Chains A and B, each alone.
Chain A
Amino acid sequence: MRYGRAPEVLRDIDLTLKPGSFHFLTGPSGAGKSSLLKLIYLAHGPSRGLIRLFGQDISTVARRDVPDLRRRIGVVFQEFRLLDHLSALDNVALPLRIAGRRAQEYRDDVAELLAWVGLGERLEALPSTLSGGEKQRLAIARAVVNRPDVLLADEPTGNVDREMGLRILRLFQELNRLGTTVLIATHDRELVQRAGQPVLRLDGGRLSPPLRPGPPVGQASGPRAEAEAAPELALDPPPPVPPPGPGEAAA
């Protein structure tokens, strides 16, 4: 892909994410990680090449069907993109409102999710009054609230401390266990190490095939092992996120 008339940012990318898979995406700053995610969440079209999403070639998807695809994708934007005129609660509830859910139905679930990411006391806070890490957690909560089939997270732990980073990882792993395909763009080595999931590396516009990081000493890979692997973290179980809309996972 390319932006305007600039040279191509991404070239010859051949990537297939199997439904239910969990990948990290790393690479130097400016390598095109965010750009690759944009291609997947349909914010930018490819200058050439083919993108298939949920089994459909996106160049053949009618414009009016795009929203249905997007509702199956949760995105944590690198720059959060919170709506600054809405409360934390309303920000997180946004995908549910758009999907036509009624406020009285979703409010408690959303409040619970916010509490789980440590914002239980800030339900009515405006994003401008939140710290960088709090905004990030808000953005994450919004991305997962609809229990998407695919979760794309762009530097989701860049602004939070180690403990909260692991807690967020735990949330992603729980979603993954429930069937969500996860792709996380990150520079956070520890996160990658901890998760022990395959890593895609993007450099010079090209993608290297997935590598499994060597598991850290005494740690098994795989999301289920995570709770044992980090016994010092007393994590609550992830909240019962609202049931997904119709449609089965297939990326």
Chain B
Amino acid sequence: MTGLPAQAPARRWRPGPLLPVGEGRDRALSFVIAVLCALACLTAILALAADRAASGWRTQISASATVLVRPGRGQTSSEAAAAAAEALAGVPGVTEARALDRADALRLLTPWLGGGVLPDDAPIPMLVAVDLDPRRPATSAALRAALANAGVQAVLDDHSRWLGDVERAALIARSAALGAGALVALAAGAAVAFATRAGLTSRRDVIEVLHLSGARDGFISGLFERRFAWLAARSGAYGALAAILLAGALKAFGGQDGFTPLLPLQWSDLLAAAPCPLAAAGVAVVSARRAALRVLRAPSQA
């Protein structure tokens, strides 16, 4: 036979998609996945910032301690505080020990005492602020020993209580981010599974012809896996981009310290969104495969 048309484009010719394209449904799914991905990426970025904030607080807290001095007999509270500061300053791992003056102490006590009603000579406990070397901070035991040696009656607050709180808060933030990520993955997976089932049932005629032509379940599920992997990767890229833009705006316009000192964002944090398209595609493949094989292997299918 001669005179066949379309010999020329034979090289470039590509066969059409075996699965009909479900225009409206695919667009809705793309949108849902993009939004979910944006949420997941934003969560990841903010979690990184929260982690940085927590570790910042951790160093600040563990690099300081407070000593509450009770004046001994024949001592003014200022003298007692000075003695304590001197003793503490000599401990290795202490960078500075500073007796707070009466005004500082009053300011710190205001929340408990109410503002400005104390007579000038009222005895108030004196505080010594101790700054520790953040790299090798003095232990609480060493500080207590130094105070005892100097014969100062004092209560040491090494802020470990606050440290515990910060650790707990950081852990909660991290778990919340992981949990949110897992939920988002589940939701995206469920959306893909739903779309796969809808595609299988709405075009049962196509699926049956494929089966009768000798297609294996894996072949048919592969059609859905590939389609939804692409769709999810594309949506994942859009979602990641949206999250990056949003977080970038926070960083750029959110004040001096990046957003706030509460969430010290760094530009490099935005990279947390980079694996999103791949992760979305992976979730899509797994859920499309599970859903398709489950439907195809159900006994009612031809």
Contact = CB atoms under 8 A, between A and B. Distances in A.
Interface of A: 41-44, 63-64, 67-68, 70-71, 75, 81, 83, 85-87, 89-90, 93-95, 97-99, 103-104, 107-108, 111-112, 115-116, 120-121, 123-124, 236, 239
A97 B214 contact: no
B15 A90 contact: yes
B202 to A, nearest CB: 12
13 contacts: A43-B208, A44-B302, A70-B212, A81-B205, A83-B20, A83-B206, A85-B16, A85-B21, A95-B214, A98-B210, A103-B13, A121-B5, A123-B6
A98 B6 contact: no
A86 B16 contact: yes
B8 to A, nearest CB: 12
A117 to B, nearest CB: 11
Nearest to B11: A104
B10 A108 contact: yes
Contacts of B1: 112, 115-116, 120, 236, 239
Nearest to B297: A63
B207 to A, nearest CB: 10
B161 interface: no
A97 to B, nearest CB: 7
Nearest to A237: B1
Contacts, number: 82
A104 B213 contact: no
A67 B5 contact: no
B209 interface: yes
A94 B219 CA distance: 13
A107 B3 contact: no
Contact of A64 (B5, B212, B216): B216
Interface of B: 1, 3-7, 10-11, 13-18, 20-21, 205-206, 208-217, 219, 297, 302
A70 B213 contact: yes
Contacts of A121: 5
A86 B6 CA distance: 17
B21 to A, nearest CB: 8
Contact of A98 (B11, B17, B205, B219): B219
B279 to A, nearest CB: 30
A148 to B, nearest CB: 10
A120 B205 contact: no
Contacts of B16: 85-87, 90
Given A81-B205, A112-B4, A120-B5, A94 B213 contact: yes
A17 B11 CA distance: 42
Contact of A111 (B4, B18, B214, B216): B4
B151 to A, nearest CB: 87
Nearest to B206: A83
A115 B5 CA distance: 10
B11 A81 contact: no
B4 A43 contact: no
B212 A68 contact: no
Contacts of B214: 67-68, 70-71, 95, 98-99
